[in-house]
Amino acid sequence: MGRPASEAVIETRGLRRVFKSRRRQVEAVAGVDLNVRRGEIFGFLGPNGAGKTTRIGYVGQAGGADREITGRTELVFQGRLYGMSTAGAQKRAAELIEMLELEGAADRKVGTYSGGQKRRLDIGLGLVHGPELLFLDEPTTGLDPQSRARVWDEVRRMHDRGTTVFLTTHYLDEADALCDRVAIIDYGKIVAEGTPEELKRAIAGDVVTFSIAGEQQRALDAVKDQAFVREARLENGSVHLYVDRGEVAMPAILRLLDSANLQLTTVELHRPSLDDVFLRQTGRSLRETAA
């Protein structure tokens, strides 16, 4: 990913949004501070109902294209709405159709499109006028893996061209793969913010899990006092070591076990995920809350 500049293109301080009904008042957004830098992909993460979409004025998740006209016509029409000439809009539509791999569908009615084709067309509609800032609200919801990968590729291309992308999603692997920085929102409040790597490093480090046939306690004693081990314990017949950098600790652990004449039966390195971060911050898994 490119290195984003420090200039802020979106900045909020103490932002609140309250919904009132006859019976109660709900604070959907509770004092949110945000700073989105020019040229970065900023992920806004949280379960359904956490307050993500309340933060943006345009919601693209459901798709906005007219089902009764062709994708090409819709792209040209969008370009004309932004003040482009007919020839310019037609040229831009052709570029987007090729870029988004819609050549086989461009001259069919949008109502015949697959979910992935509709989502790519929606992205194209947002790109017609070459925006400097683009909001994408859960752009891969309901897509098959192949279509999802294509959308990811297009978001990366936008990033490479310098577009600032504000991405809302409850797919943590998506945020991990695409975003320069992320903010996790829960019950209307930001509970964590930083780069994906910063957030993952801040929780418990990597976990090295291994088994030694019948000698788990001796194996634990051989490694638990090393400087790189944050925490060590026996669990379900295996040794679990919480370490700062698993790729560095793993060779050292293997050498220690070999020196103690202990033979491994299994060994595994687990790196924290953004779902681990959410679990640590909120006490529950984002996968569970988004289901």
* Higher pLDDT among residues 267 and 26, named by residue: 267
Confidence of residue 58 (pLDDT cuts 50, 70, 90): very low
Residues 177 and 213 in one domain: no
Is residue 21 in a domain? yes
Is residue 70 in a domain? yes
Residues 37 and 76 in one domain: yes
Residues 98 and 238 in one domain: no
Mean pLDDT, to the nearest integer, of 188-205? Answer: 86
Is residue 277 in a domain? no
Q: Given this model, what pLDDT does residue 57 score?
A: 37
Indicate if the pLDDT at residue 231 is higher than 90.
Answer: no
Residues 180 and 37 in one domain: yes
In the block, tokens 């920085």 appear at 181
Residues 169 and 141 in one domain: yes
| 3-class secondary structure, 52 | coil
Residues 6+ apart with CB under 8 A from 83: none
Lowest mean pLDDT among 17-31, 67-81, 189-203, 257-271: 17-31
Structural domain harbouring 212: 204-271
Indicate if the pLDDT at residue 59 is higher than 60.
Answer: no
Residues 144 and 238 in one domain: no
What is the percent of the chain with per-residue pLDDT over 70, rounded to a whole number? 88
Confidence of residue 179 (pLDDT cuts 50, 70, 90): very high
Q: What does DSSP assign to residue 213? A: T
Structurally, how many domains does the chain consist of? 2
Q: Residue 252's domain is classified under what CATH number?
A: 3.30.70.980
Mean pLDDT, to the nearest integer, of 258-267? Answer: 92
Q: Residue 117's domain is classified under what CATH number?
A: 3.40.50.300
Indicate if the pLDDT at residue 137 is higher than 80.
Answer: yes
Residues 252 and 149 in one domain: no
The contacts found for 240-246 with CB under 8 angstroms, 24 or more apart, are 240/207, 240/208, 240/209, 241/207, 241/208, 241/209, 242/204, 242/205, 242/206, 242/207, 243/205, 243/206, 243/207, 243/208, 244/205, 244/206, 245/205, 245/206, 246/205, 246/206, 246/207, 246/208, 246/270, 246/271
31: phi > 0 → left, psi -120 to 50 → alpha, else beta; which?
left
How many CB atoms within 10 Å of residue 272?
21
Mean pLDDT, to the nearest integer, of 195-208? Answer: 85
Mean pLDDT, to the nearest integer, of 132-145? Answer: 85
Residues 6+ apart with CB under 8 A from 191: 184, 185, 281, 282
Helix axes 71-81, 115-127, angle to 10 degrees: 20
By the 8 A CB rule, do 167 and 136 touch? yes
Q: Given this model, what pLDDT does residue 50 score?
A: 56
At 267, list the tokens: 């060994």
Residues 16 and 97 in one domain: yes
At 161, list the tokens: 């061209």
Residues 65 and 157 in one domain: yes
Lowest mean pLDDT among 70-74, 76-80, 118-122: 118-122
What is the percent of the chain with per-residue pLDDT over 90, rounded to a whole number? 39
Is residue 290 in a domain? no
Confidence of residue 49 (pLDDT cuts 50, 70, 90): low
Residues 213 and 117 in one domain: no
Residues 72 and 122 in one domain: yes
Q: Given this model, what pLDDT does residue 85 score?
A: 97
Most confident segment among 75-79, 98-102, 285-289: 75-79
